[in-house]
Structures are given as C-alpha cells and as structure tokens.
C-alpha cells in the first residue's frame, strides 16, 4: 500500500479545530511581575474552565490563599458538598416508587394477579404465613417427607422437627453411632432447601 495516496494526504492535512493552541510569550498576571507565565491557576467559583496565568513563584503564592468557597456561608458549603456526592444531579429517596401505588394498566386489583407469597408480603403478613399459602413443589414435598412432616407444615414446625432430628441422628448425640450419617445428611439438605424456598 502506498502512503502517498490522496486518502492519506487528506488525513494528514485535517486538524482538530476545537483544540486551542497554548499562547506563547504571555507574562505573569501578578501585579508588577514581568516573568513569563508558565503556570495557570483557576479563577474560582462561577468561572470554571477559566484560568489566570502566573509564573512559578506567584502560582505558588496564589495557591496558598486560594479558596473555592470564599464568600459562601457554612450552610451553602455543606449543601454544595452534599450535592457533589451525586455529581449535582437530582436523587430520590431509596425505595420510593412514585408509580407503586397505581393499579396495573389492565385495571383491577394488583394483588389478585400476585402469587400467594407476594400477596402475603403486600398485605403485611409474615413469612411463615406466606409459606403456608403456597403450594409445595416436587422438591419441597421431598424435603418435607425427609423431615417426616405434612405438606401443610409451618415454619415453626419445620424448625422444631429439624432440631429434634439432628439431636437424634448426630454421632455426638447418639454415642458415636455412625450408621445414621446418611440420614443426617438428608435431613440437613432438606432443611437447607426449605429455608431457601422460603418455608422457614
């Protein structure tokens, strides 16, 4: 490929028009100073992006006394610092949903379409009551059978039965008999499954 093509010439010629060249030969803006201006310093609040041009000694002097918040009272400074955390963008309180109280677009009561567990949460009942309202699935039924409980068992009943079975089948509790270790393992797995499924 030849680098002397018309396409490469066009690329080489184009320049970024937005970039401003740094002015050459400026003198320090400090009163009475004739040194070259090698450093810039911010002008301050309400003048973001604008700078003074100073020599090295005077930019150090300026920076010692520079205060972005000069002229503001303590309340305004605190408000500015609080807003700076979010980049001065508006925020809302965590958990606030202005559309949460409205019924769905199809109309009617939103609780009617919700599952029993969600209905229980909306109505304010606790987790144990919500678990009674839901129908156990196949794995839930197997876990309840491993604990020797009916499908309608509540959270307190599940916890009580679990503690009872662990005490009975644990090798430390039954004199070191290791013959029931498999049964104990199934009991622990069943209880973990029921906890994750929200039954207790």
Look at residue 103 in the predicted model and tell me its pLDDT: 53
Give the integer Cα–Cα distance in Å for 68 and 46.
10
Q: The whole model's pTM is what?
A: 0.35
**Cα–Cα distances in angstroms (integers) from residue 130 to residues 125, 133, 153, in the given order:** 7, 5, 12
CA angle 116, 122, 126 (to 5 degrees): 75
Nearest to 13 by CA among 23, 22, 5, 21: 5
Look at residue 21 in the predicted model and tell me its pLDDT: 47
8 Å CB contact between 69 and 77: yes
Ranges of residues in the chain whose predicted pLDDT is under 70: 1-24, 92, 94-134
The residue ranges of every structural domain in the chain are 23-71, 134-196
**How many CB atoms neighbour CB 17 within 10 A?**
6
Q: Does the 134-196 domain belong in CATH 1.10.760.10?
A: no
Look at residue 171 in the predicted model and tell me its pLDDT: 79
């Amino acid at each position: 490929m030849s680098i002397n093509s018309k396409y490469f010439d066009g690329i080489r010629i184009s320049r970024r028009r937005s970039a401003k060249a740094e002015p050459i030969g400026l003198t320090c803006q400090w009163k009475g100073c004739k040194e070259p201006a090698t450093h810039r310093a911010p002008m301050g609040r309400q003048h973001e992006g604008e700078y003074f041009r100073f020599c090295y000694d005077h930019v150090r002097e300026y920076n010692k006394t520079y205060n972005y918040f000069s002229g503001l009272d303590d309340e305004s400074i605190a408000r500015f610092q609080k807003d700076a955390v979010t980049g001065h963008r508006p925020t809302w309180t965590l958990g606030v949903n202005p559309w949460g109280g409205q019924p769905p677009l199809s109309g009617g009561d939103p609780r009617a379409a919700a599952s029993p567990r969600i209905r229980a949460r909306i109505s304010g009942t606790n987790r144990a009551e919500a678990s009674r309202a839901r129908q156990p699935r196949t794995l839930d039924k197997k876990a309840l059978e491993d604990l020797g409980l009916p499908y309608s068992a509540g959270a307190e009943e599940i916890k009580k039965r679990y503690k009872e079975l662990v005490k009975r089948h644990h090798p430390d509790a039954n004199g070191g008999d290791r013959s029931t270790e498999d049964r104990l393992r199934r009991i622990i797995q069943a209880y973990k499954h029921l906890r994750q499924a929200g039954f207790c």
